[in-house]
Amino acid sequence: MSVEESNALSRRQFVARAAAAGVAVSVVGSVEALYTAEPALGTSGPKIGYGPLIPDPAGMLDLPRGFSYQIVSREGTVRPDGLPTPSRFDGMGTFPDRFGGNRLVRNHECSPTAKIKVVAPPERTYDPAGAGGTSTLVVDRHNHKTSEHISLGGSAINCSGGITPWRTWLTCEETELKAGQSGYTKDHGFIFEVDPYDDRRNNHPTPLTAMGRFQHEAVAIDPATGIVYETEDAFVAPLGGFYRFLPNRPRGGWGSLRAGGELQAMRIPDLPDLSVVQEAGTVFHGVEWVKVPDPLATTESVRAQDYGKQTTGGYKLEGCWWGQLDRCVYFVSSFARTELGPKVDHDGQVWRYDPRAKTLKLMVIFTRPKPGSDDPEFDAPDNITMSPYGGLMMCEDGLGEQHILGTTEDGQVFKFARNAVNNGTPEAPEYGELAGVGFSADGRTMFFNVYTPGITYAITGPWRRRR
């Protein structure tokens, strides 16, 4: 198993252990700030979730009563160009289409061992030896797919990313392999910009080298300043960093990030390891940012370089999003395990950085279960989005059954969907994770992926229902 595959299979323990008799999460603190981090569509969101899951007679996806799914795309389906849809559906961005439908840009987290590698036209291929990339799908207002094609090829381990304010997708490579390793002809570990509307812009893929070469996970952009925040999904010491990129062209627009800028790592004096903070509500003032000496990681990985000062890192920094309401950036430390480097264990932290106040606050911490407690009902949410109706929607990437989880106003966790295709049984123990969750601009449809076998779903139903 490759390093990349080990990384992809190691995302565990974000949500706290659920009580054996219910679905409430053991949380220290409150998720209220997360619940209100994005504006809602005039509703307060579900009070107690959307009800129990109804088993799907087709054995695909279990949903609450009143909701239904459509399969938009499947791995292996032959496209009009005669090639099969690639494997390993991961992060995804959703964009409005001018005809009332939606455009989806979907990552393929493919390494050279993937069952179906990404094959793109030569003009949209970065490294012919790279197996990853992105697909662009167009669906009409009824969620029927009208087209699907490869918009980026020749990249590697395309995990998550983020949507820019100018409506493009930043796809992130979660690897640090260089030319000559694993057969690659070019260095990897970069961010690429993909235009969901105009594929002419996707010709001649250009890595955004100034934004760093490391195990990228997700990004979020402050629309007022153009500053890009980046997470690093490192799962071995040294700990991954939380970074910000100061672009030379902060007003944005297609290709603006190619103009370069300065990459900086977060530093909190006397706090090298975020995992040691165990009390929600803890605030650190005077957050500093230190220039990354070598963003290209020419000789040493970005997180291992000599900054002259101790920077602040975390274990498996994954989800990252911009809060429109409070103008703060949120990011997630998926879990921490002392045997792998961190000093203290936890099952997930959610942090909020306030750029104006220069403060970092631990909003939520999910504590580890006590010895002898039951196994978790939920574990390891990965991709996260804010529901337009309030609350988080989270994709599980853990052990056993895999769900889309939601949060209510008071911080309870409920099951919204269950992957019934490969649900952690001995016959299908791996890769059943869900990923890429996002909503259409009108809030009527949720889209998300099953990692393997790759399936893209569109979910509709009574979203405004509160009880």
Q: What percent of the chain has pLDDT over 70?
A: 82
- Joined tokens for residue 152: 């980026």
Is the residue at 222 inside a domain? yes
Give pLDDT tens digits for 189-237.
Answer: 999 999 999 999 999 999 999 999 999 999 999 999 999 999 999 877 7
Is the residue at 130 inside a domain? no
> What is the structure's pLDDT at 371?
57
Give pLDDT tens digits for 397-410.
Answer: 766 788 898 877 66
- Among 414, 425, 466, smallest CA distance to 63 is for 414
Q: Which amino acid is at 174?
A: E
- Average pLDDT for residues 438-459, to the nearest whole number? 95
List residues bridging with 399 in a β-sheet. none
Give the DSSP per-residue string, 241-299: EEEEEEESSTT--TTGGGG-EEEEEEE-TT-SBGGG--STT-EE-S-EEEE-S-TT-SS
pLDDT band at residue 369 using 50, 70 and 90 as cut-offs: low
pLDDT at 301 over 90: yes
Is the residue at 358 inside a domain? yes
Residue labelled with tokens 């030319």: 179
Buried b (16+ CB within 10 A) or exposed e, 153-172: bbbbbbbbbbbbeeebbbbb
Is the residue at 123 inside a domain? no
320 vs 266, residue with greater confidence: 266
> What is the structure's pLDDT at 370?
56
Is the residue at 110 inside a domain? no
Domain count along the chain: 1
CA atoms within 13 A on the CB side of 2: 18
> What is the structure's pLDDT at 39?
41
CATH code of the domain covering residue 393: 2.120.10
Please list, in sequence order, all residues whose beta carbon lies within 8 angstroms of the beta carbon of residue 124, skipping any fewer than 6 positions away.
150, 151, 152, 153, 199, 202, 203, 205
Q: Domain of residue 256: give its range.
A: 24-70+177-460
**Gap between the Cα atoms of 345 and 359, Å rounded:** 23
- Joined tokens for residue 75: 């791995």
Across all residues in the chain, what is the average pLDDT? 85
Is the residue at 149 inside a domain? no
Give pLDDT tens digits for 302-329.
Answer: 999 999 999 999 988 988 888 877 899 9
**Gap between the Cα atoms of 43 and 40, Å rounded:** 6
> What is the structure's pLDDT at 16?
29
Is the residue at 288 inside a domain? yes
Local structure of residue 349 (DSSP, 8 states)? E
Element (H, E) at 396: strand 392-396
Is the residue at 212 inside a domain? yes
User: Are the beta carbons of 218 and 160 closer than 8 angstroms?
Assistant: yes
Helix (H, G, I), strand (E, B) or coil at 123: helix
Q: What are phi and psi of 122, to 5 degrees?
A: -55, -35
